[in-house]
Structure 1
Amino acid sequence: MEDSCVHHIEFSVRDGENLQRTLLHQYKFSLAATRVNSRLKQWVLKSGSATCLLTQQISSENEQVQDQYFVEAGEVFDGAINKSSGQIDSVFNVALKVKNIASCVEKLSRSGVKILRPVKKYNDKYGEISLAVVKSCIGNVVHTLIQDENYSGVFLPGFNPVDNVHNNDLQLAQSSLVTHFDHVTFACDCGDSDRILEWYSKCFGMKRFMMNSDEDEAKGFVIDTEDIGLRLKAFEYWKCAETGLSLGNHPKSIKFVVAEALANQGPNQVDTFLHDHEGAGIQHVGLHTEDIIQTVSRLSDNGVQFAEPPYTYYTEVGKYEEICDIGQNVEILRKNGILVDAEADPGETTGDAQSQNLRYLMQKFTKPLFDRNTFFLEVIQRVGARGFGSGNITALWRSVQAYINSQEKQADS
């Protein structure tokens, strides 16, 4: 199984048992490891190289948590995370692999980054890892940094493998619907995207990339319609040998997208996220699949609820021809609510698509996973394309907005 620069993504949840059942039975992740102590329960779930860590705190409200890995979402939230009314379920930790953790943390410290957990070594019978935790500049987001080239265990020292899953990567990959994390999207305050891009460039050596040919370098990709006012900008790893981050401009390296509402446009889904999440944070994660039609169909059969695209999407001028030109069936895509964009990225192609001169991507959003309109997932298949299609972006975000509007109407009635 191929690696990626993301080691895992961590969820802080109130009901870990329920979420792990959802990921197991609906999304067909596999339970790889668990860990339980007096303060928390944790579940490690894998699909391909995508690894999710679910953390449920069980300590009392006033107990100081000093676990070797755990960083409570609330303790790093700017302004605290709903301390008056209880926890908010949140995806708050994108753990990154690094090549030289000591020099990486030293550089981050010199740049003024808050070090939440200093570098420390941990080991078990499978080897040794070095780990540190740093605070991002976005809301409650943190990054666990992990150097693990001398570790062969399922996850991290201290976690108990489940059902002899150790060294069973081939079987896990064959049963997975998802191959890896494609991207992480942050929702931030209006006007904050440039500060975030500057921070990640300075601290992690990440660089801006154009999402598609319609994007303006200064303004980003802007959706300014009657029902949506949104600005998106994206960045990714590069020159990883210099920054110490693993795998860089690899087809499976992570991309980050920053979403902010346009000023004076009225409420939209980014504002809804900021309100319900009580601050900026991770709004959604893209899960890459090699066959989105089969994956979406199976996920739907398993009970996953999706935010459906506008029906008119498939009747837009040129869309039918575009879909046929890349060899896809319009009716199958319409039936499954899958969006396709053949102009997703003007840049270089990869894999079989290069020889066929095909370059496109297909996408669909789920409804929120939690009881608030905050975090959701995206299913995405890339065929040669590295960016994000302008037509898909508008349709995808419109599907989310339509769902949120329907929820608000139900609440008012």
Structure 2
Amino acid sequence: MEDSCVHHVEFCVRDGETLQRTFLQQYKFSLAATRVTKLLKQWVLKSGTATCLITQQISSENNQSQDQYFVESEKNFDCKERQQTRKLDTVFNVALKVKNVASSVERLSRSGVKVLRPVEKYSDKFGEISIAVVKSCIGNVVHTLIQDDEYSGIFLPGFNPVDSVHNNVSSEETLAPTLVTHFDHVTFACNCGDTNHILEWYSKCFGMRRFMINSDEDSENGFVIDTEDIGVRLKAFEYWKCAETGLSLGSHPESIKFVIAEALPNQGPNQVDTFLHDHDGAGIQHVGLHTEDIVKTVSCLSENGVQFAEPPYTYYTEVGKYEEICDIGQDVDILRKNGILVDAEADPGETTDGSQSPNLRYLMQKFTKPLFDRNTFFLEIIQRVGARGFGSGNITALWRSVQAYLNNQEKSDAS
């Protein structure tokens, strides 16, 4: 199983009980730990190395009180972005494991990064961690930096481990393989024209670098979807272990992939603009969850009640698509039945396991519908077979599936 430099991804929601049940019952995550304070209720859910922290604020009456870990998501929007005062459900924190928190924060401070929480140490019977929180240049996004090489606990000090009895699963289910294994990527929705600034910020501050999404991407303009119903620009970046500055992120930096999505100018309403409106600003639009068997995973998730954004009806009849699916050894009827997209157009170069097998390099994907009551955050289920990038055909079809869902929802709301 692939290790990850992402320690956890944090949700801040109004109803944590319901969301944690969704992850337990529908996505088959396991409840690993909980924490309750005067200010917060928190649940830690795991599937493979993918760890989600769900946080629900109980009270914010005492503005002088601070939680040792939590930084309130609502206060982290840039003033120019945050226009509303309404409470919102959001995914706002991508926590990263670093080799040395103190030196990382020192470098980030010199680069002008806002430090929301200075370096602190916490310990319990399982050992000690060092932790700090810094503000990203994107909307309400923050990054908790965690040094946990001297810690053997289930999550962080102060969290209470939960045994399998509390997960409402049978012994057979406990032994069954997880549906998803790790975080594959995080996609941010940003304002039009902000992409290059974001890339420069993460390159300078975090030591990350641009990588081509696929062979159809233009080095200057990014991967552009400009059709009648979609106008989106995508660019991607990843941690560069040879960077002379930035963070030092451990032994598997290739697992960190960030994607930026912005609407094209003068294109009319689309899903990026919808996110920015409903989220009151830029932020995390979706997270990709990797699976070793997407057919089984999507089938199970559907049976468990997960709702997906279905691909265009014509996807499987596009010129060459049938042959492409057959060439990689997949069953067209099974993929069509489950609404799974396939793309054999991967980035040139080595596969993820270091082999040179271009005929086996492909990826399969599917988007869920939004998890919250507004059209903001959703999940992506993805299986990679050698491919490191994102196929051009899949990207267009995936984004079109979300746009079709939003369009249908608008028609339903208007009727």
Farther-moved stretch of structure 1 (240-249 vs 45-54): 240-249
Q: In the TM superposition, what is the alpha-carbon distance from 1:175 to its structure 2 partner?
A: 3.4
1:329 to 328, 331, 338: 331
Q: RMSD over aligned Cα, in angstroms?
A: 1.9
Q: Which residue of 1 aligns with 2:35?
A: 35
Matched, 1:246 2:250: yes
The more displaced of 298-307 and 354-363 is 354-363
Change (3 A) 1:83 1:74: farther
Q: 1:374 to 1:107 in 2, by over 3 A?
A: same
- How many residue pairs get aligned? The number is 406
Supply the distance in 2 between the matched residues of 1:134 and 1:60 (Cα, whole angstroms): 21
User: What pairs with 1:102-181 in structure 2 (closer than 5 Å)?
Assistant: 102-163=102-163, 174-181=176-183
State how far apart, in whole Å, the 1-side matches of 2:104 and 2:379 are: 30
Of the candidates 242, 249, 255, which is equivalent to residue 257 of structure 2? Answer: 255
Task: Check 1:59–1:385 CA distance in 2 against 1; reply closer, same or farther (3 A cut).
Answer: same
2:93 is matched with 93
Number of the residue aligned with 1:69: 69
Q: In structure 2, do the counterparts of structure 1 residues 362 and 352 end up closer, same or farther at CA, with 3 Å as the change threshold?
A: farther
1:13-412 aligned at under 5 Å gives the runs 13-61=13-61, 63-79=63-79, 85-163=85-163, 174-239=176-241, 242=244, 243-250=247-254, 253-351=255-353, 354-355=356-357, 357-412=359-414
1:247 Cα shift? Answer: 2.9
What secondary structure is seen at the aligned counterpart in 1 of 2:262? strand
- Partner secondary structure for residue 372 of structure 1: coil
Distance in structure 2 (CA, Å) of the matches to 1:129 and 1:103: 15
Residue 3 of structure 1, CA deviation: 2.5
Determine the C-alpha separation between the residues in 1 that align with 2:379 and 2:63.
33
Could you tell me how far 1:350 is from its partner in structure 2?
A: 2.8
Distance 1:157 1:386, change over 3 A: same
Gaps of 5+ in 1: 166-170
Indicate if the aligned counterparts of 1:10 and 1:92 stay in contact, CA closer than 8 A. Answer: yes
User: What secondary structure sits across from 1:32 in the alignment?
Assistant: strand
**Which has the higher mean CA deviation after the structures are superposed, 389-398 or 53-62?**
53-62
Q: Is the 8 A contact 2:3 2:252 kept in 1?
A: no
Distance (Å, rounded) in 1 between the aligned partners of 2:215 and 2:2: 30
- Rounded to whole Å, the distance in 2 between the matches of 1:172 and 1:154 is 17
Cα distance in 1 for residues equivalent to 2:229 and 2:82: 29
| TM-superposition CA deviations, 1:181-203 (whole Å, max 9, x none) | 00000000001000000000000
- In structure 2, what is the Cα distance between the partners aligned to 1:172 and 1:346? 39
Contact 1:187/1:280 (<8 A) preserved: yes
Kept in 2: contact 1:41–1:57 (CA 8 A): yes
Report the 3-state secondary structure (helix = DSSP H, G, I; strand = E; otherwise coil) of the residue aligned with 1:52.
Answer: strand
TM-score, length-scaled by structure 2: 0.94
Q: Distance in 1 between matches of 2:269 and 2:306?
A: 27
Q: 2: CA distance between counterparts of 1:161 and 1:140? A: 29
TM-score of the two chains, using structure 1 as the length reference: 0.95
> Is the CA contact (8 Å cut-off) linking 1:187 and 1:274 kept in structure 2?
yes
Cross-structure match for 1:168: none
- Alpha-carbon distance between aligned partners in 1 of 2:354 and 2:337, rounded to the nearest angstrom: 27
Distance change >3 Å, CA 334–CA 21, structure 1 → 2: same
Residue 383 of structure 1: how far off its partner (Å): 0.1
**Cα distance, 1:76 vs structure 2:** 1.2
Structure 2: gaps of 5 or more residues: 166-172
Mapped to 2, the partners of 1:173 and 1:150 lie a distance apart of 29
- Mapped to 1, the partners of 2:84 and 2:189 lie a distance apart of 23
Cα deviation for residue 176 of structure 1 reads: 1.2
Indicate the larger mover: 77-86 or 181-190. 77-86
1:407, CA displacement in angstroms? 1.0
Give CA-to-partner distance per residue, 1:342-383, whole Å, 9 cap, x none.
012222113397458410000000000000000000000000
Deviations 1:207-245 (A, max 9, x none): 000000000000000000000000000000111685411
Q: Which residue of structure 1 lines up, in the alignment, with residue 169 of structure 2?
A: none
Q: Identity over aligned residues, as a percent?
A: 80
Q: Secondary structure at the match of 2:360?
A: coil
Could you tell me how far 1:409 is from its partner in structure 2? Answer: 1.0
3-state SS, counterpart of residue 108 of structure 2: helix
Asked if structure 1 preserves the Cα contact closer than 8 Å seen for 2:98 and 2:146, the reply is yes
* Matched residue SS, 1:175: coil
After the TM superposition, which of the residue ranges 73-82 and 194-203 deviates more from structure 2?
A: 73-82
Counterpart Cα distance in 2 of 1:162 and 1:72: 25
